[in-house]
Amino acid sequence: MSLLLAEMTWPEVERAIAAGITTVILPLGATEQHGPHLPLGTDTVRAAFLAGQLGADRSDVLVAPALPLGCSDEHTGFPGLLSLDHETLARLITDCGQRMAAWGIRCLVLLSAHGGNARALERARTRLQEQVSALEVRVLASSTALNEELSEIAATDGIAPDDVGLHAGEGETSEMLHLRPDLVHMDRAVAGYTGSMADVIPRLREAGLRAVTDTGTLGDPRLACATRGRRYLAAQIEGYGQLLAIGTATPVREAVP
Ligand SMILES: [Zn+2]
């Protein structure tokens, strides 16, 4: 069972710290369009789940509530967007890290399910390490090895990488079918941009998703399936769990959604 900070009392937290539980995982999501078939809170649902499962697999971490707002300006032009400047998110994380250090936390693990948060995470990590020497800050972000593993799962099932997609495609839709099928509208799912994801990244960075896809989808969500979503999520939990165990932080890279 995870030690969920928002569901604990302060004496329980005090006892956890006294027992040597001094690591907090802070999940970071976003509120941004995810095509006509997935909810705006998709990344927050995924972040909270991944952090909760990592916490459940180990008894030595506390799990903070997921932050539902991230840096999502690449989704400008789609209704429903709630986005922060990189500096705002960096300051928010820095503020929380300082407070955590004051009540005994010694390691803050940032787990983001939204690629656009990467720059803010890096800024917060650098700042906290300068300001709060007692606090180690680690960033769990997707790595090449993890991406290869996810591609392998897709390939085994005959799903092409460009259909898995970078945003609201087969990948995220499969995960949401496993996590919150009640919020997935498969009858509204349509193929989005399904050309080369590698080729489209510079355009996305420059002009945002609206310039590339009318529906907001990159990939083909119609191919999604809940069982594969469970396997994608299990691979991420396994990969992040290993990083946590060996104490290696993934180098942060700029990613798209
Ligand atoms: Zn997403």
For each successive 10 residues of the chain (257 residues), what is the average pLDDT?
94 97 97 98 98 92 98 97 98 98 97 95 97 95 85 96 95 98 98 91 93 96 98 96 70 46
241: in domain: yes
Does residue 174 lie in a domain region? yes
User: pTM score, two decimals?
Assistant: 0.94
Query: Residue 141 Cα, ligand 1 centroid: separation in angstroms?
Result: 14
Instruction: Establish if 252 belongs to a structural domain.
Output: no
98 in a domain, yes or no? yes
What local confidence, expressed as pLDDT, does residue 250 receive? 46
User: Total domain count for the chain?
Assistant: 1
In degrees and rounded to multiples of 5, residue 189 shows phi and psi of: -70, 130
Give domain status of residue 38, yes or no.
Answer: yes
Range(s) of the domain holding residue 115: 3-246
Instruction: Tell me, in angstroms, the distance from the centre of ligand 1 to residue 168's CA.
Output: 6
CA of 43 to the centre of ligand 1 (A): 5
Ligand 1 geometric centre to CA of 218 (Å): 10
pLDDT at 247: 57
Distance between Cα 134 and ligand 1 center (Å): 33
Q: What is the Å distance from ligand 1's center to 129 Cα?
A: 29
How far, in Å, from the CA of 12 to the mean position of ligand 1?
34
Q: 68 and 29 in contact (C-beta within 8 Å)?
A: yes
Determine the distance separating the centroid of ligand 1 and the alpha carbon of 104, expressed in angstroms.
33
Helices assigned H by DSSP within the chain: 10-18, 42-57, 86-102, 118-131, 144-156, 161-164, 170-179, 197-207, 226-246
Name the 3-class secondary structure at 8: coil
Q: How far is the CA of 29 from the centre of ligand 1 (A)?
A: 8
pLDDT of residue 59: 84
Give the pLDDT confidence score for residue 257 in this predicted structure.
Answer: 52
Q: How far is the CA of 157 from the centre of ligand 1 (A)?
A: 22
**Does residue 94 lie in a domain region?**
yes
What CATH number is associated with residue 64? 3.40.50.10310
> Is 10 inside a domain boundary?
yes
How far, in Å, is the centroid of ligand 1 from the Cα of 66? Answer: 14
Q: CA-CA distance, 218 to 45, in Å (whole number)?
A: 19
pLDDT of residue 144: 81
